[in-house]
Structure 1
């Protein structure tokens, strides 16, 4: 079993502040997106409740699919927002940018593409292979 030590970064305060702003901005964008999607979902429900007269199976199926899609979107946004919240916590702890699996530094290119990454590519691939097994 891998014993993981707390890793501290050697980033300047300017870099940390820049990363924090970037992560917080994306978190705020996801919050706005969630609020918008929640409002749309609520409108969809109101329309669905008020407009059932004359529905056949196809209409009911379409409404169910739309409702399921809206719920899936909400869950996805919340999951992504939680990832950015975790990244902000890791930044405050001094562990942002370091792999949770092997404690190696996560390449800057990976963090630029996926700022909420908590693992290096190697550990991510290992986790995915285990999940498929």
Structure 2
């Protein structure tokens, strides 16, 4: 578990050791696709780790901006209803963006954990390979194209 946590929190020596214990060639691919190479998997992993770091920085910045705006809203106690409404709308918008950023962070961390566990590229719905090209294009994918289409139709 510590290895997975270290990997999800930005790499670390233990995280890299866990990643190396799962061979890239052991990850599933669709029929007709070449097996994963260590370089391809390392590239996807590096992209995810970079994204995790960027998303954490965005969340920290958004939280500090929200805290600053909340302190500013106390000072604006004499605002008219239009100002109050505009501030409330902006706050709700900022909270929605922060929620979306947290969701992307969780998805990225989960993808790294799946790499460490050797389940990266396996569809969570049908258990078949998602497809190397799909996870290279969208590294956080957890469903194959067919299962994703079925989910979106519901």
Q: What are structure 1's unaligned runs of at least 5 residues?
A: 1-7
Structure 1's consecutive aligned runs of 4 or more residues displaced over 4 angstroms after TM superposition are none
* Structural RMSD (CA): 1.6
Residue 119 of structure 1 aligns with which residue? Answer: 143
Q: Is the aligned partner of 1:80 residue 2:104?
A: yes
- Partners of 1:50 and 1:80 lie apart in 2 by 34
Give the deviation of 1:63 after TM superposition. 1.0
User: 1: CA distance between counterparts of 2:134 and 2:73?
Assistant: 43
> Displacement of 1:121 after TM fit?
1.4
In structure 2, C-alpha distance between the alignment counterparts of 1:107 and 1:11, rounded to whole Å: 10
Alignment coverage as a number of residue pairs: 122
Q: Please tell me whether the aligned partners of residues 44 and 136 of structure 2 are also in contact (alpha carbons under 8 angstroms).
A: no
Instruction: Output the TM-score relative to the length of structure 1.
Output: 0.82
Runs (5+) with no aligned partner, structure 2: 1-25, 28-34
Take 1:109 and 1:15, find their aligned partners in 2: how far apart are those partners? Answer: 11
Q: Give the alignment of 1:55-74 within 5 angstroms.
A: 55-74=79-98
